[in-house]
Amino acid sequence: MQITYQFRLYPTPKQEELMIRTLIMCRKLYNRAKEQRDTVYNQEGRTVTYAMQQNELPVFKKEFPEYKEVHSQVLQDCLRRLDDAYQRFFRGEAGFPHYKSADRYLSFTYPQPGAVSKTFARDRYVYLSKIGFVRMRTHRSFDQANVTQINVKRHADGWMAGIGVNIEAAEADQTAKTAVGIDVGLRTFAALSDETKVDNPRHLRRAEKRLRRAQQRLSRKARGSRNRQKAKQKVANIHQKVARQRKDFLHKQSHRIVQGHDLIAVEQLKVKNMIRNRRLSKSISDAGWRRFITYLSYKAARQGKRLVQVPAHGTSQTCICGADVPKTLAIRLHECKECGLVQDRDIVSAQVILQRALSIVA
């Protein structure tokens, strides 16, 4: 199992210049490779593969010597990123790949352990080939021998290094002493089967007023001006703060749940289909359900806990006694005529989810 740790980088002015130059050249290579794919397909009707473009890199670097300043595996990962975008399109998981502008291509990756073998030759420094030893703030320790890749990303307020590390998942305990079912929602972020609720912080909704004003100021600035660049930076800072608030909240809630329970039951949610609802898409994206389940999954595996995903069909329309209790979203109280249960509908849904998970485990 791989976990990615995020650490802040503090490059020198010369190193930052090299990192920005690396981003620029990777973006240009990405756009050139995409142009080649589209041109060959439109004119000759054949597909250009990742292997074909990778094999052309040595010739390409002779034609454009400036690309020798970028590590070869970084360039290969750039082409692999483009190939992944096309593969997702062919599988129906994403739209057709677009050309990348400077604001849309913000990271580069050293993808193999050999490329990062010197990463920790110095304490609190990360080694980036062709760039040098970059100072890094490490807020936690990890096994340096199991580093698999390094992703360097430019954020609105600086640079971050995402270091992927392979860890061994703990063996799950087959006798779960404590179990909990979780029903995620929008009014409350999550309802647990033990009748506790987690409030929905709505980070984006709370920042909408500030974001709207910042975007209005941005729209009034002349294109290409220095003032527009400053206004654009302010909009990016607001978006970044919202994203980090959401991430911090999800980490804390998932950690608390995994620490307190041996078995965690959740629904198999198809969030991609759910956000097609234009009335709820912003609220669903703001809640971060998919990331929450991802955090629960890897934290449970790391601590030897069990995460069970059950089919979502009918969990809100069924009673714990098994009777069907149909209700619309406007009805927030569950009332069963069969067993007489009267309870909050979200709590009942969480209990039904737990029941289904226990039956799967049994």
* 84 has catalytic annotation: no
Distance CA 191, CA 207 (A): 25
- Is residue 162 located within the same domain as residue 183? no
- Single residue among 107, 142, 166 that ends a domain in this structure: 166
Are residues 160 and 308 located together in one domain of the fold?
no
Specify whether 104 is located in the same domain as 191.
no
Query: Does 22 share its domain with 150?
Result: yes
Q: Is residue 304 part of a domain?
A: yes
* Position 224 in a domain: no
Based on the fold, state whether residues 34 and 138 are members of the same structural domain.
yes
143 catalytic per annotation = no
Does 159 reside within a domain?
yes
pLDDT of residue 277: 84
Residue 16's nearest CA partner among 99, 132, 119, 104 is 132
Residues 119 and 196 in one domain: no
Cβ atoms of residues 165 and 7 within 8 Å: no
CATH, residue 263: 3.30.420
Q: Is residue 7 part of a domain?
A: yes
Domain boundaries, position 122: 2-166
Residue 222 lies in a domain: no
Catalytic residue among 83, 183, 262, 286: 183
Single residue among 166, 191, 217 that ends a domain in this structure: 166
Name the token pair of 355. Answer: 């029941």
At 264 the pLDDT is 94
> What's the rounded Cα separation, in Å, for the pair 221 and 219?
6
Q: Are residues 274 and 157 in the same domain?
A: no
101 and 183 share a domain? no
Q: Is 346 a catalytic residue?
A: yes
- Kindly report the number of other CB atoms within 10 A of residue 264's CB atom: 29
Picking from 114, 142, 166, the residue at the C-terminal end of a domain is 166
Q: Which of 267, 286, 324, 344 is the catalytic position?
A: 267
> Are both 183 and 160 inside the same structural domain?
no
Q: Is residue 219 in a domain? A: no
CB atoms within 10 A of CB 298: 18
Alpha carbon separation from 92 to 86, 87, 123, 195 (Å, rounded) = 10, 9, 45, 39
pTM: 0.84
Q: Which of 83, 262, 286, 346 is catalytic?
A: 346
In a domain, residue 57? The reply is yes
Residues 25 and 132 in one domain: yes
Same domain, 191 and 145: no
- Within 8 A by CB and 6+ apart from 141, the residues are none
**C-beta atoms surrounding 203 within 10 Å:** 19
Q: Is residue 274 part of a domain?
A: yes
The answer to whether 317 and 326 have CB atoms below 8 angstroms apart is yes
Q: What is the pLDDT along the chain (362 residues), one digit of tens a residue?
A: 788 889 999 999 999 999 999 999 999 999 999 999 999 999 999 999 999 999 999 999 999 999 999 999 999 999 999 999 999 999 988 899 999 999 899 999 998 765 444 445 445 888 898 998 899 888 877 777 788 899 999 999 899 999 988 877 767 666 668 899 999 999 899 999 998 999 999 999 999 999 999 999 999 999 989 999 999 999 999 999 999 999 999 999 999 999 999 999 999 988 888 888 888 899 999 999 999 999 999 899 888 899 999 998 888 888 888 888 888 888 888 888 888 888 888 999 999 999 999 988 87
Q: How many domains does the chain have?
A: 2
The verdict on 10 and 130 lying in the same domain is: yes
